[in-house]
Structure 1
């Protein structure tokens, strides 16, 4: 499995990160240049940007690879808003109804097995060889996804297997073949 690092630096997203994402999206939707300099530190971190409208997911894309925050947040604010293939692009009229959450990912570590993580505390990345197609599959959920869905550890792992594109039915053998990396969002 790829090494995601073991960042000892803990970064916490605050309202200023979400406000910056909103300003980037607003400028884009209004065909304006966005030249605002963020008022937060330009750290090297993995991140995800999540957009919700009326408390329902409207877009969520990020990167597990650490990137410089100023540019990465600008890029992923737009990518998650207008290029998440699960949704139609966010429009200008949607802005008043949107909520934004920025997640800065830290503390990546290999789990001992597929059960070695806690719902609500850890985000997880799975990697495995698809038993039907013999190709490598990966998928991730941020820490807040399982509790929002009411999932336990097994349900979360099975949902990740399906999210990866694997068409095999999740079972004990498939779960035991998983490599799992856990991480946290502060």
Structure 2
């Protein structure tokens, strides 16, 4: 897995807006201008609803891939294919905020509690009540935003991954946990419009 070679930047978020708007307007998708290092990454879309930001889509990949193609793929996947939400529409774009997370510093945890809130994202592997292997992840910012402690985070993550049974000590001890860190940038639509106007002037 890569180390922190490049930080996520606001330009990465602007490119995700470019990609999404081009797709929604049925126009050619522009090529990314970013350095094509390889990263695992996630793209997150939030939407302003009466002054509060709410999740509108978040999908990514733990397999390192070229940054340009990765941003393009997951800008669209998170906006249009997150099964928790309806696809984002062009009408919603002016209320959107985009977040890009580049994931780095992957480490095996000694157990399900071997990570730090506000520092690490976590990815867990476990067996559900039907005996099927499942995985689930939360990015580093999720736990502080929700105000969860470690146990609440793990319980929520098991439910997110589809575990429906009683969360016993045996279940918790069976979890394989990987911790990681991320570099994250965010940009709202207003910033994107200002950036595009400046780019047009140049």
Q: TM-score, normalised by structure 1?
A: 0.93
Q: Does 1:110 align with 2:100?
A: no
Give 1:52-71 correspondences, 5 Å limit: 52-54=46-48, 55-71=53-69
Residue in 2 that maps onto 1:45: 39
Residue in 2 that maps onto 1:17: 12
Q: Find the residue that maps to 1:84 and give its secondary structure.
A: coil
Residue by residue, what CA displacement relative to the aligned partner does 1:70-111 show, whole Å, maximum 9, x if unpaired? 111101001100111111111111111000000000001101
**Aligned mate of 1:153, from 150, 155, 158:** 150
Task: Measure the CA separation in 2 of the matches of 1:17 and 1:46.
Answer: 14
Q: Is the 8 A contact 1:16 1:39 kept in 2?
A: no
Task: Measure the CA separation in 1 of the matches of 2:33 and 2:40.
Answer: 19
**Aligned mate of 1:27, from 22, 27, 30:** 22
Q: Find the residue that maps to 1:87 and give its secondary structure.
A: coil
Residue in 1 that maps onto 2:127: 129
Q: Is the 8 A contact 1:49 1:76 kept in 2?
A: yes
Structure 2 unaligned blocks of 5 or more: 184-202
Residue in 2 that maps onto 1:173: 170
Task: Measure the CA separation in 1 of the matches of 2:84 and 2:127.
Answer: 25
Structure 1 outlier segments of 4+, above 4 Å:
none
Residue by residue, what CA displacement relative to the aligned partner does 1:98-126 show, whole Å, maximum 9, x if unpaired? 00000000001101111110111101010
Task: Measure the CA separation in 2 of the matches of 1:84 and 1:37.
Answer: 24
Higher mean Cα deviation, 149-158 or 163-172?
A: 163-172
Report how many residues are paired. 179
Cα offset for 1:176? 1.1
Residue in 2 that maps onto 1:92: 90
Q: Find the residue that maps to 2:70 and give its secondary structure.
A: helix
RMSD: 1.1
Structure 1 unaligned blocks of 5 or more: none
Task: Measure the CA separation in 1 of the matches of 2:90 and 2:82.
Answer: 16
Q: TM-score, normalised by structure 2?
A: 0.86
Higher mean Cα deviation, 60-69 or 171-180?
A: 171-180
